[in-house]
Amino acid sequence: MKHRYTLVAIATGLVLSVAGCSGGSDKEAPKAGSSSSSPAGQKSDDKESQAPASDKVLAESKDGDIAVTITSATRDPGGYVTVSGTVRNEGNRSWLGENWRSDEQELRGNGGSLAGASLVDEEGKKKYLILRDTSGRCLCTKFSGQVRSGQSASWFAQFPAPPEGTTKLSFQVGSMPPAPLEITEGE
């Protein structure tokens, strides 16, 4: 019995460590009422966002009726990069994000999410996969509802930071063409 309490205490400490490392500044946190999860992996409401978090567009990519806009790519002091933006459904049918899920066994339970996203450093020949917590949940948006025709949803995804000085990367998810972007330094 004592052994179980020790394991619970260790697991709790690990979860708190991951949660402490995944925080960012208030400017980067998804707004309540968006269809994204919080950086700590907690769900917020399923309502679609009507406008992106920022008017500045860093990159765009489109695959069929689905358009992705990246409005922020920030290197955070905790050693990770947070990328965020919107996904817009320009088609006639609802979209779930199923083809954006990861092929990795550990991340399969994330369903329609950005779990399959990556950042690619062409120059350094390195690929950065999505971060995850100790339960195998991606540190990214999980689309728990459909994005209906003509609507947009906000999203975020967190990745390990590339080496200092590396700022030019490509964001890739699903069958979307790579979206070149430049990361900025966080506060």
Q: What is the CATH number of the domain that holds 81?
A: 2.60.40.10
Q: Which two tokens stand for residue 67?
A: 């358009």
Cβ(45)–Cβ(155) below 8 Å: no
Of 75, 71, 73, 78, the C-alpha closest to 162 is 75
Calpha distance 77→171 (Å, rounded): 20
Summarised one tens digit per residue, pLDDT across range 11-61 is 444 333 444 444 444 433 333 333 334 444 333 333 333 334 456 899 999
| Domain limits for position 89 | 2-185
Domain count, the chain: 1
Tell me the mean pLDDT in the region 138-149.
Answer: 86
